[in-house]
Amino acid sequence: MHTKRKRNLSVTLALLPTWFAAVVVYIGTMFWSIRMSFTDSTLFPSSNYVGFAQYVKLFHSAKWLASLQNVLIFGVLYVSGCLVLGFLLAAALDRKIRFESAFRSIFLYPYAMSFVVTGLVWQWMLNPTLGIQASVRSLGWETFVLDWVVNRNMAIYALVLAGVWQGAGLVMVIALAGMRGIEAEQWKAARIDGIPVWRIYVSIILPQLGPALAAAGMLLAMGVIKTYDIVVAMTNGGPGNSTEVPAKFIMDNLFGRQNLGLATAGATMLVLGVVLAVAPFRYAMYLRSNRAKGAA
Amino acid sequence: MKNTMKLFLAAAALTAAFGTAHAEDKPTIEIMSSWTSGGEAAALNVIKTEFEKRGGVWKDSSIAGFGAADAAFQNRIVAGDAPGAKQGVIGLAAADFVNQGLMNPIADLAAAGKWADALPKSIYDLISYNGEVYLAPTGAHGESWVFYSKEAFEKAGIADEPKSWDEFFAGLDKLKAAGIVPVAWGGQPWQQSKVFNMILLSQVGIDGFVKIYVDKDKGEASVEGVKKTLEILGKLRAYVDDGAAGRNWNDATAMVITGKAGVQFMGDWAKGEFTVAGKEAGKDYGCMIAPESSGMVYIADSIWFPKTGNAETDKAQKLLAEVVMDPAVQLEFSVKKGSVPMRSDVDKSKLDVCAKKGLELMTAGSIVPDQAIVLTPQQVGLLDDFVDEYWSSGSQDAASGAESFFAIFE
Amino acid sequence: MARPHPNGPKPAQITAGRIGLYAFLFVAALFFLLPLYTMIVTSLKTMDEIRLGHIFALPEAPDFSAWVTAWSGACMGTVCVGIRIGFWNSVAITVPSVALSVFIGAVNGYALSLWRPRGASVLFGLLMAGGLIPYQIFLYPMVRAMANISLYNSLAGIILVHVIFGLPLVTLLFRNYFVSVPEELCKAARVDGAGFWRIFFEIMLPMAVPMIVVVSMLQFTGIWNDFLLGLVFAGRDNLPMTVQLNNIVNTTMGERTYNVNMAATILTAIVPLAVYFLSGRWFVRGITAGAVKG
């Protein structure tokens, strides 16, 4: 009994710094934000409470509404795009390829680059008068169109393209490593059964990589909510509101527009959205782990 | 061995003591600015050199980009660690800081230096809050400029600078016919707002402009003026190229420099790009105030002096304010930055053609302030949103557009 | 056992399938390399050539002066020393931040998954929710708090901030790693009388070396490329290289020297790139050992 308590003490002590950070920083900031969102704070925190006025303003703001829609579209396409391309690249590299490590480096390097300038390069490349469109047309294909960055309806896909360019390599290494971890016996067995290679990847390997890909997806999702640099560098939210995102909305109002109340209202809605999205998932995990414990 | 050590320590202590005494003698100031690129940095250096010549110690904290610089500055204040000086625009942007009691007034200095006589009255009013002077103005940028390529104008057969919007559009048609992109458009919200403002000034005049932005007047004349402005702005859509959206102003200027495009609407800082490319004002490229304008929109920078609670820094702030307002510094600063000096009593001969035109308008008082000076930062943001939405949607008519314009002030 | 070798049969001959495979890889490589190519050729052009707007054209005469300027001559305000001055600051911020956050992440993952203390899932849920919040909103209260404990504008302060904001990522990865470790291993050690820390240092940490490599690399990239936190918390004596990069690249009303911008960006990315290339094998092996299996 004595040792058990001591053991528990060690665990508690080990987790103390993290508990402290989670409670003081994460929860503390959330409460601070919620409180600020009910005030008329502009440049600095004020304690003049105005009820839900900031929220009313927030949901009357075309920019905010557009940003929610955009981040949803971007998030779904970006995460799934990275996962699909990353998995395909990994599967291709897994097929005993020459220059594997060169290819691997090529697919991974964008992850190391700051978006401040690579965003500008993407802006140039997708700009019809400077980039790929102009080059293809000068080669003779006069009707070729690739104007995503300047086209209201396509600009969000330009962000997705650049985002996938940056993030697919991460999924690739994670998936590739997972594939290397799969037992050789499984391969042999599958080959003996005469199953075609692509079927092996889809029906045998993909399920085994599920958890690894889920972790990769979670990492990417954390990035989605925080999407800021890429937007500022490529489109600055435009044309119109077509690539506005919540993190940029919050940042703009926090500093440039000196509108702390509105910024914190936006952040609060975002936290609420995240909690609503995460809670059922966590609850399911909790139930599952309880069941596992019960079984053991 | 022991003695040597003692001696060494004593010497070290002595040097340290001298070192600190030395530093305390000199007024030291940390200045935060977002002037980091070529011409801007050279202009800042003018102030620095003079400040050091007069015995000051200069600590540079430059952060490029207004957003990043604002974030850093505001957080320094929140932490109670304000820098000694910050570069920022005059007018309402500083108001919150002043009203919260975070800034040092420099009223005595301004009175002693007779700033009220040396500066245009509107500028003097905009650096004063509650009757006291707080900011030291460095220079003004004219924002109503149309830069044009002389080569392109010649090729299209445009002999004279267009005087009216009708002539202007006729010129644009000629450019188009000559296979030149008529307008090098920078499709970013802040650039578009500047074009909106220069057209607005041409439609409602100086008094009308002030009435709208300062008095928030919604009278018939104001609404009519905004409507006409939006019509002209909308007409310009037909004269820009496909790649306009999101374009940096520098890239638009490059189009004029290389003769690919005819004109660009921009502030006078665009001259910096022309100069770097070896082009000369009045010879390779022309600068004209937007057609039908009775004056010029301007934006003015200044140095702010936050309270630091350090008497030494207060002294350094006074010295810096003096240096900034020195006539020679004002002139040299503007030459380097491509801006217009604030003082009316500087030697004009060193300025280029465009700056001379600007200074004339400035001294005549034919100027109206940029929205960043007279609107709150929240409203400035909303104006950007409005103009950008109107420009890029292309579906809103001028009348309903005018309605949403006046909603900014609510 | 894990095999650090590719799967599948040895390619006996060239088939249509293999041609398609290589075609896919080459097209993908082109897609990934095009931006880098554009950056490199732009960095080797003069501004006059850049103004012509042919972004994919090779430079007429390669000019390396932009690289020299970016490294040692580009101006930031009145100081013209290039981005090299931020290099050691970035190292001083990144190395301890990565080391600390990896250690804490390993402890967290181990404690949460193998000891399951009360409230473990609450803590994990809090961290995951925290990881999804745009961190800009933390700035104000964090600045206040750091100033109160006198860590604002200090190296220790920025390191602490990076460690705190890194918690969700490191905890997620290590937890998912240790979850796949057989529980019996831990139980057996406990029966032998080993305590929490002894099991951690003697059994778990050595086992987790591959994961440590992976997490270190991710954290290294993230912290090295951070701009906003460094700008706000580090103080003017410790500003990281990315602040210098921003000062060169970012401007509202100033002239833009694109060739220098491109060179400066590549130079700033060189350290993380070198880390990738040099430890690329480790990266793959690291995850191979079952690292990111949930």
What residues does each domain of chain B span? 27-140+299-364, 145-298+369-407
**Predicted pLDDT of residue B14:** 43
Asked if A236 and B188 come within 8 Å (Cβ–Cβ), the reply is yes
pLDDT in tens, B362-372: 888 899 999 98
Judge contact between C210 and C4, C-beta under 8 A. Answer: no
Which residue among B41, B65, B257 sits closest to C250, beta carbon to beta carbon? B65
> Rounded distance, CA B338 to CA B269, Å?
6
Q: Kindly state whether residues C136 and C220 are assigned to the same domain.
A: yes
Distance CA A72, CA A246 (A): 10
Reported as a single tens digit per residue, the pLDDT across B92-101 is: 888 889 998 9
- Give contacts of A270 with chain C, Cβ < 8 Å: 133-134
**CA B42-B48-B54 angle, 5° bins:** 145
- Shared domain for C164 and C272, answered yes or no, is yes
Contacts of residue A253 in chain B, CB cutoff 8 Å? 381
For residue C99, which amino acid is it?
A
Mean per-residue pLDDT, C21-27:
93
Backbone φ and ψ for C12, nearest 5 degrees, come out as -80, -45
Window 55-84 of C, Cβ < 8 Å to B: 75-80
Nearest to B371 by CA among B130, B192, B220, B115: B192
Task: Report, as an integer, the average pLDDT of B234-258.
Answer: 90
pLDDT for B103 equals 94
Is the pLDDT reported for residue B7 higher than 70?
A: no
Gap from C95 CA to chain B (nearest CA, Å): 24
- The per-residue b/e assignment along C177-205, b for 16 or more CB within 10 angstroms, e otherwise, is bbbebeeeebeebbeeebebeebbeebbe
pLDDT greater than 70 at residue C270: yes
Q: What is the pLDDT of residue B16?
A: 43
The residue type at A56: V
Which of chain B's residues have a Cβ under 8 Å away from the Cβ of C75?
Answer: 36-38, 41
From the CB of residue C121, how many other CB atoms can be counted at a distance below 10 Å? 16
Among C83, C116, C134, residue at a domain's last position: C83
Judge residue C20's burial from the number of C-beta atoms within 10 Å of its C-beta, 0-12 exposed, 13-18 middle, 19 or more buried: exposed
CB B408 within 8 A of CB B402: no
Nearest C-alpha neighbor of C117 from the set C108, C126, C125, C130: C108
pLDDT tens across C146-194, in order? Answer: 888 889 989 999 999 999 999 998 998 888 778 777 788 888 888 888 8
Q: Is the pLDDT of residue B326 over 90?
A: yes
SS3 at position B339: coil
Distance CA B83, CA B307 (A): 8
Residue C294's pLDDT band, with cuts at 50, 70 and 90, is very low
Token digits for B368?
A: 């109206």
Residue B105 predicted with pLDDT over 70: yes
- The alpha-carbon gap from C127 to the nearest alpha carbon of chain B, in Å, equals 25
A204 touches chain C (CB under 8 A): no
Q: Which chains touch C (3 or more CB pairs under 8 A)?
A: A, B
Instruction: For chain C, say whether B99 makes contact (Cβ under 8 Å).
Output: no
Contact C44, C259 (CB under 8 A): yes
Look up the CATH number of domain B145-298+369-407: 3.40.190.10
The HSE-up count of residue B250 (CA atoms within 13 Å, CB side) is 22
Enumerate the residues of chain A whose CB falls inside 8 A of the CB of residue B77. Answer: 44
The structure tokens listed for B402 are 């005018």
Residues of A with a Cβ under 8 Å from any B Cβ are: 42-44, 62-63, 123, 127-130, 147, 149-152, 155, 234-241, 251-259, 262
Number of structural domains (chain C) is 2
Of B247, B238, B393, the residue nearest A241 (C-alpha): B393
Contacting residues for B333 by C-beta, under 8 A, at least 6 apart: B43, B46, B47, B138, B139, B339, B341
Q: Output Rg (C-alpha) for chain B, integer angstroms.
A: 24
Instruction: Give the model confidence (pLDDT) of B276-306 as tens digits.
Output: 888 988 889 999 999 999 999 999 999 999 9
Q: What is the domain class of B27-140+299-364 according to CATH?
A: alpha beta
C24 and C156 housed in the same domain: no
pLDDT(A282) > 70: no
d(CA C181, CA C186): 9
CB contact burial A55-72 (16+ within 10 A = b; e otherwise): beebeebebbebbbebbe
Whether C6 is in a domain gets the answer no
Six token digits for residue C184: 């019996």
Mutate to test the interface with C, among B29, B48, B78 (most CBs of C within 10 A): B78
- For C146-157, what is the HEC assignment? HHHCCCCCCHHH
Tokens of B90: 């005059």
Alpha carbons B142 and B367: distance in angstroms, whole number = 9
Mean pLDDT value across chain C? 83
A187 vs C: CB within 8 A: yes
Closest C-alpha to B229, from B288, B188, B290: B290
Q: Angle C258-278/C209-225 helices, nearest 10 degrees?
A: 170
CA gap C247, C251 in Å, rounded: 8
CB-based contact A170:A111 (threshold 8 Å): yes
Residue C50 lies in a domain: yes
Residue B1 predicted with pLDDT over 60: no
Q: Which amino acid makes up residue C160?
A: L
Nearest to B246 among A44, A150, A259 (CB): A150
Closest to B388 measured CA to CA, from B212, B168, B267, B233: B233
Residue B143 has pLDDT above 50, yes or no: yes
B15 pLDDT band, cuts 50/70/90, is very low
Interface touch A129/B100, C-beta < 8 Å: no
What is residue B56's three-state secondary structure? coil
- How confident is the model at residue A296, as a pLDDT? 40
pLDDT bracket for residue C218 (50, 70, 90): confident
Which three-class secondary structure state does DSSP give residue B79? coil
At A292, the pLDDT band (50, 70, 90 cuts) reads low
Chain C: residue whose CA lies nearest to A270: C133
Which of helix, strand or coil describes residue B58? strand
Pick the CATH number of A61-258 from 3.40.190.10, 3.30.1180.20, 1.10.3720.10, 1.10.357.10: 1.10.3720.10
DSSP state of A227: -
Q: How confident is the model at residue B111 (pLDDT cuts 50, 70, 90)?
A: very high
Compute the half-sphere exposure of residue C180: CA atoms within 13 Å on the CB side of its CA.
19
Q: CB of A108 within 8 Å of any CB in chain C?
A: yes
Any chain B CB within 8 A of the CB of C236? yes
Instruction: Please count the other Cβ atoms lying within 10 Å of the Cβ belonging to residue C281.
Output: 12
> What is the DSSP secondary structure assignment for residue B15, as one 8-state letter?
H
Question: What distance in Å separates residue B11's CA from the closest CA in chain C?
Answer: 27
Domain boundary among C83, C112, C139: C83
Task: Check CB contact under 8 Å for A258 and B71.
Answer: no
Does the structure show a pLDDT above 70 at B389? yes
Cβ neighbours of residue B257 under 8 Å, at least 6 residues apart?
A: B149, B273, B274, B277, B279, B285, C51
Give me the pLDDT at residue C286, please: 44
Q: CA nearest B246: which of C41, C50, A158?
A: A158
Taking CA atoms, what residue in C is nearest to B70?
C232
The closest CB to that of B64, out of C143, C147, C247, belongs to C247
What are residue A272's phi and psi, to 5 degrees?
-60, -45
Print the domain residue range for C59. 17-83
> What long-range pairs does C94-98 form, CB within 8 A, spacing at least 24?
C94/C220, C94/C223, C94/C224, C94/C240, C96/C159, C97/C158, C97/C159, C97/C162, C97/C163, C97/C166, C97/C219, C97/C223, C98/C216, C98/C219, C98/C220, C98/C223
One-character DSSP codes across C197-264 = HHHIIIIIHHHTHHHHHHHHHHHHHHHHH--HHHHHHS-TTS--HHHHHHHHH--SSS---HHHHHHH
Dist. CA C142–CA C164, nearest whole Å: 11
**Average pLDDT of the residues of chain B:** 88
More reliable by pLDDT, C116 or C240: C240
Residue A31: closest C-alpha in chain C: C141
pLDDT higher for B204 or C83?
B204
B contact residues 232-261, partner C, Cβ 8 Å cutoff: 248, 250, 254-255, 257-258, 260
Whether pLDDT at B238 is above 90: yes
Q: What pLDDT, on the 0 to 100 scale, is given for residue C72? A: 84
Binary contact (C138, A254; C-beta < 8 A): no
Averaged pLDDT for residues B152-168: 93
Distance CA A62, CA B384 (A): 13
**Do C212 and C69 lie in a common domain?**
no
CB-CB under 8 Å, A108 with C221: no
Contact A223, C168 (CB under 8 A): no
Domain finish residue from C83, C114, C139: C83
Q: Give the contacts of A8 (CB within 8 A, at least 6 positions apart).
A: C117
Rounded CA-CA distance C110/C179 in Å is: 8
Which of B317-326, C1-10, C56-65: highest mean pLDDT? B317-326
Inform me whether the C-beta atom of residue A176 falls under 8 Å from chain C C-beta atoms: yes
Instruction: Compute the C-alpha angle C258/C263/C269, nearest 5°.
Output: 125
A vs B, Cβ pairs < 8 A, gives 90
Contacts of B178 (CB under 8 A, 6+ apart): B152, B155, B156, B157
Write out pLDDT tens, residues A247-267.
Answer: 899 988 888 788 889 999 998
For residues B345 and B118, the answer to whether their CB atoms sit within 8 Å is yes
- Per the model's pLDDT, the better-predicted residue between C34 and A197 turns out to be C34
In Å, how far is B65's CA from the nearest CA of chain C?
5
The residues, ordered by sequence, that sit 6+ positions from B192 with a Cβ below 8 Å of its Cβ are B186, B384, B387, B388, B391
Query: Which residues of chain B make contact with A43, given a CB cutoff of 8 A?
Result: 74, 96-97, 100, 377
Q: For all residues of chain A together, what is the average pLDDT?
A: 84
Parallel, antiparallel, or unpaired: how do β-strands B261-266 and B181-183 relate? parallel
Q: Any idea which of A180-189, B13-22, C144-153, C239-248 has the lowest mean pLDDT? A: B13-22
B36 contact C CB<8A:
yes
Indicate whether C80 pLDDT > 80.
Answer: no
Q: Is it true that B27-140+299-364 and B145-298+369-407 share their CATH fold?
A: yes
Angle of the C139-148 helix axis to the C155-179 helix axis, nearest 10: 120
Same domain for C137 and C120?
A: yes
**How is chain A split among helix, strand and coil, in percent rounded to 5?**
75, 0, 25
Examine the pLDDT at B85 and tell me if it is beyond 60.
yes
Percent of chain C with pLDDT over 90: 26
Place of tokens 């085994």: A208
Query: What is the pLDDT at residue B185?
Result: 94
Chain C neighbors of A41, CB-CB under 8 A: none
The Cα C146–Cα C150 span in angstroms is 6
Q: Is the pLDDT of residue B11 over 50?
A: no
- Partners of B385 on chain A (C-beta within 8 Å) are 62-63, 241
CB nearest to B272's CB, from C147, C248, C254: C254
Dihedral angle, C-alpha B203, B206, B211, B217, nearest 10 °: -10
In the structure, what pLDDT confidence band is assigned to residue B349 with cuts at 50, 70 and 90?
A: confident
Q: Residue A65 has which token pair?
A: 């509404």
Domain boundaries, chain A: 23-60+261-296, 61-258
3-class DSSP state for residue B132?
A: strand
* Mean pLDDT of the region B319-326: 94
Between vectors from CA C64 to CA C62 and to CA C68, what angle results, nearest 5°? 170
The answer to whether residues B73 and B283 touch, using CB atoms and an 8 Å cutoff, is no
